[in-house]
Structure 1
C-alpha cells in the first residue's frame, strides 16, 4: 500500500485528490498534512519521512503583490526540499505547475522555478519526480474570486448576481476530476518526468461559459428542469454549477399538484437528457442510501408518506436535513460528493420516485458508501 501525502490538502485540487484517494483504501493510505507543517521543521520532517509519494500542491494563487506570490511559492518548495534532504527521504514527488510558466508574470515564474528546484533535487538524489504543467482547472468547491473564473461565475450566477467579462478570451480547461485521474495515473506508473504537460480537455470562450451557466440558472435553478448536456464538459460544468447553489435554502422544491374528483397528478421532472426512472417503497423506520456519487445527477421525489432526506458533503460534518411529505409532493436533488440517505419517518409506507441521469452499470456504478 502506498502512503501518500498532499501538501495543500485543504485546497481546491488537494481536497478532490484527497477524497478520491480515499475511494481506493486497499491501494493508498493517506498521510495527513496541515498547512502549519511548513512553519515547523520537526512536523514537516515527520510528514515527509512517512510518505512514499508526496504531491506538492500548496501554493498561493492570488495576492495584491506579485512579489509576495513569488516569494511564498518558491519558499514553500525550498522548505520541502530542505526537509527531504534532512530526512534523507526519497519519495516519488509530484508537483503542480501551471501553463502560465512561460508568461511574463511572477506567479508563472514561481511555479516554474519550484518545479525546477524539485527536479534538481530528484536528479541529485536519484529519486522519481513528476513535474505537472497544468491548464486552467475548474470543478465543484473551488473558491470564488480565487481559483478560477468558472468558480466566480458559478457563485455569482447562482446567487443572482451579474458577472462582468473583462476579457472574452479562450480558456483551455481541465475538470478537476480529470486532473485527479491523471495525477493518480502518474502515481501508479512512477515514471520520472521533469516536465509533463497535461492536456486540456476542453476549450471555451469566457462568454460561452457564462451563457451556459445562465442557461443552467434559468432551466434548472429557477424551473427545476434538467438542461440539455451535449458533452462531458457540459455535464461537468452543470455539476460544478449545482454545487455553488445554496442547497440548504433551495431544497426541498415543492411540486405542482393537480387534483380533481379522480385523484391527483404531479409532474416530477422535465428532462432534456436521458437516464433511468425508478420508484421504491420503504417501511416505517427504514433508511435507504448512505452513499455518494462523483458524477451522477440524481433526484428524489416523495409522492406518498413522510421522509427525512439527509445530505452531508464529504469531508465535512454539517448534515442538511429535509423533511418531505407526500401530501405536498416535493423533491431534493443530490449534488455530487454529497453522501445522502432517505428515511421513512412516518407511520405508513413511504413511496419515493427516483431519477438518475445514467443507466445503472455494476462495473462502473459511481456509488460509494459512506454513512451520512
Structure 2
C-alpha cells in the first residue's frame, strides 16, 4: 500500500509480452497491496487511451519494447518512440506516476537495441528532472521462464521448443551466461513498486541469480526430456533451485495433448499393481476420496510440481492458464489408471463425474506449508 494506506495502482506496458504477462500475473498474487491497471498494446496508437492509462496509475512499469528485427534501426526507432509516447501522455495529463524502466545489460554493448535502452532511460530521467517525477531504471540480465517465445525471448525458450519437437539445438557460442528466473525478476519489480521514500532518479543493475554455460543448460534440458517426457519421471530438482526453475520452464513447452498418461498395470490372480510415481526429488504424497458430482481444486501454483493420479472412479480434470480463456479437459478412469501433471500458472480442478467414489493420489514436490502455500484460488 502507499503512505495513505491505499492500494497501489500499477500498470504495465507490454502486459501481453513475456516479462509483462508474468509480472501482471505475479502482481495478481499481491492483491493486499496492489491493484492492477489493464494495458493493451493498442493504447500506444491512441492518445486518448494512453493518457487515460497514465492518469490511472500510481506506478507504471515500462516493459514494452522490440527485442529483435532484421533491421536494427527499426528496433531503435520503435523503442525510443514508445518512451516518447509515454512521456507525452504524462505531460498531456500533467501527471507524474513513478516509472520503472526495464533496461538491459546490453546498454553497454555496441548495438542499437542496447542504445535504445540507454537513450530511452535518459529521456525518462530528463522528464523526471523537469516534471518532478520519479524514474527507477532496472538493468536486467538474461531472463528465462515458462511460456517464452522461441527464437525471440531467450535461447532457453528456443532450446526447450526444439527438444520437445525432436530437433537438435545448436550451441553457437558456449559462453557462460548470467541468468535470472522470471519469478525472481517479478519479485524485484514488486519490491521496487512498494518501496517508499525513494530518490527521484535511480538506476541499478539487477543481480543475476545463476551463471551457467550454454552447453550445461542444454544437457539439463535433454535430460529432462529423457526422464520426464520419455519415462514419466520427475528429475532431481531441489526446492528453490535453478534446476527447478529450468524444469518448470521446460514443461511449459510440452503440448497439452501429452496428457493423460496411462500407467502400466501388472495383473495376476492376486489382483493388480501399478507404480504411481518415480522421482529423483523429495515430495509429499496424499490421497483424496470424492463423492459423485463434487469438484476439488480451482487453484493454481507458481512454483510447485504436482501430479494427479486417478486410480478408482471417473474424473474430469480441467486446466486453464490464469490469463487465458482456453480450458483443457482430461477424462480419467480408474479402469485404466492414468495421471495428469499440473503446470504452474494454470488453475486446475478435478471433478467426480462417475457414479462411484473417486480416489485420487496426489504427489507434490514440496510439503504443504500454510505460511507459504503457493496456492491461489481462481475458478477454472
Q: TM-score range by the shorter chain?
A: over 0.9
The Cα offsets for residues 63-110 of structure 1, whole Å up to 9 and x where unpaired, read as 000000011001110111111111111111101000000000000000
Q: 1:244 aligns with which of 253, 269, 294?
A: 253
Matched with 1:277 is 285
Q: 1:215 aligns with which of 208, 212, 223?
A: 223
TM-score normalised to structure 2 length: 0.96
Aligned length: 371
Q: Distance in 1 between matches of 2:327 and 2:89?
A: 39
Matched with 2:58 is 52
Matched with 1:83 is 89
Note if 1:315 corresponds to 2:323: yes
Q: Distance in 1 between matches of 2:317 and 2:254?
A: 18
Structure 1 residue 162: deviation in Å? Answer: 1.2
> 1:33-52 counterparts in 2 under 5 A?
33-52=39-58
Structure 1 residue 212: deviation in Å? Answer: 0.4
Q: 1:262 aligns with which of 247, 270, 278?
A: 270
Q: Distance in 2 between matches of 1:102 and 1:150?
A: 23
Alignment partner of 1:85: what SS?
A: helix
Structure 1 residue 25: deviation in Å? Answer: 2.1
Matched with 1:118 is 124
Q: Distance in 2 between matches of 1:44 and 1:279?
A: 50
Alignment partner of 1:23: what SS?
A: coil
Structure 1 residue 29: deviation in Å? Answer: 1.4
Structure 1 residue 42: deviation in Å? Answer: 1.3
Structure 1 residue 216: deviation in Å? Answer: 0.2
Q: Distance in 2 between matches of 1:155 and 1:314?
A: 22
Matched with 2:135 is 129
Q: Distance in 2 between matches of 1:101 and 1:83?
A: 25
> After TM superposition, where is structure 1 displaced by more than 3 Å over at least 4 residues in a row?
none
Runs of at least 5 residues in structure 1 that lack an aligned partner in the other structure: none
Alignment partner of 2:317: what SS?
A: strand
Note if 1:153 corresponds to 2:162: no
The Cα offsets for residues 179-231 of structure 1, whole Å up to 9 and x where unpaired, read as 00000000010423431110000011111111000000000011000101256
TM-score normalised to structure 1 length: 0.98
Alignment partner of 1:211: what SS?
A: helix
Q: Distance in 2 between matches of 1:50 and 1:311?
A: 33
Structure 1 residue 155: deviation in Å? Answer: 0.8
The Cα offsets for residues 111-158 of structure 1, whole Å up to 9 and x where unpaired, read as 111111111111222222110000000000111110000111111111
Q: 1:229 aligns with which of 221, 229, 237?
A: 237
Matched with 1:347 is 355
Matched with 1:338 is 346
Note if 1:102 corresponds to 2:115: no
Matched with 2:299 is 291
Runs of at least 5 residues in structure 2 that lack an aligned partner in the other structure: 1-6
Q: Distance in 2 between matches of 1:151 and 1:79?
A: 31
Question: Structure 1 stretch 310-319 or stretch 229-238: which is displaced more?
Answer: 229-238
Q: Distance in 2 between matches of 1:107 and 1:24?
A: 32
Q: Distance in 2 between matches of 1:352 and 1:216?
A: 26
Matched with 1:303 is 311
Structure 1 residue 27: deviation in Å? Answer: 1.6
